[in-house]
Amino acid sequence: SSTSASPTATSRQFVGMASSSLSVVLLLVCLAAAASAQLSPTFYDASCPGALATIKSGVAAAVSSDPRMAASLLRLHFHDCFVQGCDASVLLAGNERNAFGNAGSLRGFDVIDKIKATVEQACKRTVSCADILAVAARDSVVAVGGPSWTVSLGRRDSDTASEALANRDLPAPSLGVTDLITRFAAKGLNHTDMVALSGAHTIGRAQCKNFRTRLYSEDNIDPAFATSRMATCPQLTGSGDSNLAPLDDTTPDMFDNAYFGNLKLNKGLLHSDQVLYTLAGGATEDIIDGFASNQDAFNNAFAAAMVKMGNISPLIFPQGLVRRTCSRAN
């Protein structure tokens, strides 16, 4: 009898082998797609190896010239990520810049534009504005004594921005604890993340119009602190609206945990800051106590929260684009 396989059996064997090979190929394609869809801290190592050093140098120069700029660049990143994800939409002229929480208060656009121009000279259409902003936020914190963290890269830029979404999603300084928790939870951030990120108010300034009501209408405020702030923030609406006061009255240009100690003394400048301690109903007081007594605990939680925030809905290739100029679409 013949030992050779029948044509039908051979055909089935060939189909089976082809099917297995196709499955392996499809699996490899899927794995490659998944890998390419992940952000990576080494994303520009080959395509633009000097990018991170250029960003760091630009931030250092800006903060050296204007220490307040550290808070401004950090705030830009926060306001970017909270509106349609970390896609540099906040940098586009108009739209989000005109939202209630942004108009007349966001700053640092010129710093990012200058850094972007320098990066473009070395690596055209390679490094996204979204990534520049994420790295600049980290470098700003480090420049004023705060913690560092690893920034994963590979975000791409949007070509649209939305004032309506910004008005809906950005936490307002008048919000209470429940609304704050809801806003942060909608972005995948928990109670600890929220308190840690609020600790960014250890640096920076706020405009009178955003804390006037607290000074003149709230009881959970240290009387001497309120009086000192009233000196530059008159009660009459429209008078001194843009006058500035430090969010952290103790060390306004140093990234430390003094902000949390201020809350325990009823010296939070914004309503949305103080309610985290005195009107939180047990939701966040213990977290604040922990951060107030342990700088390292705050630094670690802040760094972890910044990583989480920086990963909110990024645009990954083939989505999005790399803008040539951060303030306008290509």
Residues of each annotated binding site: 80, 83, 85, 87, 89, 96, 171, 201-202, 248, 251, 256
Residue 192 pLDDT > 60, yes or no?
A: yes
Residue range 264-280: average pLDDT? 95
Q: Determine contact, residues 116/107, Cβ cutoff 8 Å.
A: no
CA triplet 138, 142, 144: central angle to 5 degrees? 125
Question: The tokens of 312 are what?
Answer: 């909110």
Question: The tokens of 90 are what?
Answer: 């906040």
End-to-end CA distance of the chain: 74
pLDDT given for residue 281 in this prediction: 80
pTM of the model: 0.88
Residue range 269-276: average pLDDT? 97
| CA pair distance 145, 151, nearest whole angstrom | 18
Identify which of 280, 285, 302, 46 has the alpha carbon closest to the alpha carbon of residue 149.
302
pLDDT given for residue 37 in this prediction: 54
pLDDT given for residue 14 in this prediction: 37
CA distances in angstroms from 226 to 199, 243, 323, 324, listed in the order given: 20, 15, 45, 46
Residues of each annotated binding site for heme b: 201
Residues of each annotated binding site for substrate: 171
Residue range 250-261: average pLDDT? 97
- Domain annotation for the chain: domains and CATH numbers: 50-169 (1.10.520.10), 177-309 (1.10.420.10)
Residue range 194-217: average pLDDT? 98
pLDDT given for residue 238 in this prediction: 94
Q: What are phi and psi of 205, to 5 degrees?
A: -130, 160
Residues of each annotated binding site for Ca(2+): 80, 83, 85, 87, 89, 96, 202, 248, 251, 256
Residue 144 pLDDT > 80, yes or no?
A: yes
Confidence of residue 282 (pLDDT cuts 50, 70, 90): confident
Determine which one of 77, 79, 191, 271 is catalytic: 79
| CA pair distance 29, 37, nearest whole angstrom | 12
- What value does the mean pLDDT of the chain take? 91
Is there a catalytic annotation at residue 77? no
| CA pair distance 330, 327, nearest whole angstrom | 10
pLDDT given for residue 5 in this prediction: 43
Residue range 243-266: average pLDDT? 97
